[in-house]
Each structure stands twice: as C-alpha cells, then as structure tokens.
Chains A and B, each alone.
Chain A
C-alpha cells in the first residue's frame, strides 16, 4: 500500500515568490493534516481537514498561507508571497478518522528554502 505522497521533495525560491506543495494521502483516509517543522523542532499543525472541510486552521497564517482539499482526497498548500522565515519542512499526514486513537501516517515532507 502506498504511503502519503508529497511533491516536490525540495524547493528553492526567492523571497516574495509564490510556492505550492501537493499531498496525496493514503487511500481511504478521511483526515489530512499539514504540519510545519522548523529545524531542530517538532512539527506544528497548520491545518486539519476532515474530508474537504477544514476543521482546524487556527494556526494557519491566513495572510499568506492558503490550503485546499478539493474532492476530499489530495490537498495543496500555498504560500504567497514567501518570506525568509518560511524556510522549513512542510509535512503532510493522514489518518483514517480525525478523532480517537488513530495513528497519523506522515509523508516525507517538502523542504522549502527561501533566499
């Protein structure tokens, strides 16, 4: 069974440019998460989807970040415009359901470098 797929794996952009990350969760998983992981830190939740509904986006900086999960399957996270401080690893995870003792399965992440 394929795991969580993310692309691209690496991205280098100039500041003020837009960037987008894509995630395809494990088949059948209703819940999808985007996390931000700074160097030497643990992941922090940006947004959680249950099917196509964003049920927790309280940590998403909405002035420059946006996300969508059309059709409740794959998802895109966008930053526009990117800032130097956005350099980090962006992780996508999925789980069967959003609540309960569901293990979250993580993708390999997209490492973003903003110059």
Chain B
C-alpha cells in the first residue's frame, strides 16, 4: 500500500520568505504526483501535476520537483504572501490502479 508522508506538519514564516514543503512516498510505481491547496472549510484545489516522466513543474511562484527513484517531491513557494496561508497536500496516483494516495498535509501560516 502506498504511504505518503509530508514534513513538516506545520510551518510559520514571515512574509517574503521562501517556503519549502516536502513529500515522500514508499512505492515508486506512480503515474503522477500532484500538489493541492486546501483552505479552511473548502475543498481541494490542484496546484501542480507532475507526470512520472517529468522532473519538475512550474506555475508562477510555485515550483515542484519530483525524484521518483528516491520517492520524493518538494514544493517551493517563492516570496511567500499572507494569501499563501493554507494546507498543502501531496498526492500520488498509482501506476496500476490510478488511485490517489494523499499525505496528511503541511499547514502553512505566512505572517504579515
């Protein structure tokens, strides 16, 4: 069974600092890896999707890397803003069953 771990569980930084969120997974047989954002009381919003053949994806201030062989992904958020405060979830899609397995998330607080 795929196990997804996110470290740290919570993070508080001053505005303007860069954020680094880590995700690890146990089974490297993945189809893709996604990073989601979840605001309190809201559903999940997809931020970035990295195919298993790719090494990274970028969208604006967000950059996600994938090292499938070591079972790791990192989400970088440059020049953080208070509006970036949310919970960030990592999810891997299995290559055989296409099932999404989620980590528990990292809750980010950006202080103004």
Contact = CB atoms under 8 A, between A and B. Distances in A.
A98 B11 CA distance: 34
A53 interface: no
Interface residues of B, number: 23
Contacts of B102: 41-44
A41 B104 contact: yes
B60 interface: no
A113 to B, nearest CB: 13
Interface string B70-92: 00000000000000000001010
B46 A103 contact: yes
Interface string A39-72: 0111111000000000010000000000000000
A98 B94 CA distance: 12
A45 B99 contact: yes
Contacts of A91: 43-44
Contact of A103 (B49, B99, B104): B49
Contacts of B42: 108-109
A107 interface: yes
Contacts of A4: 43
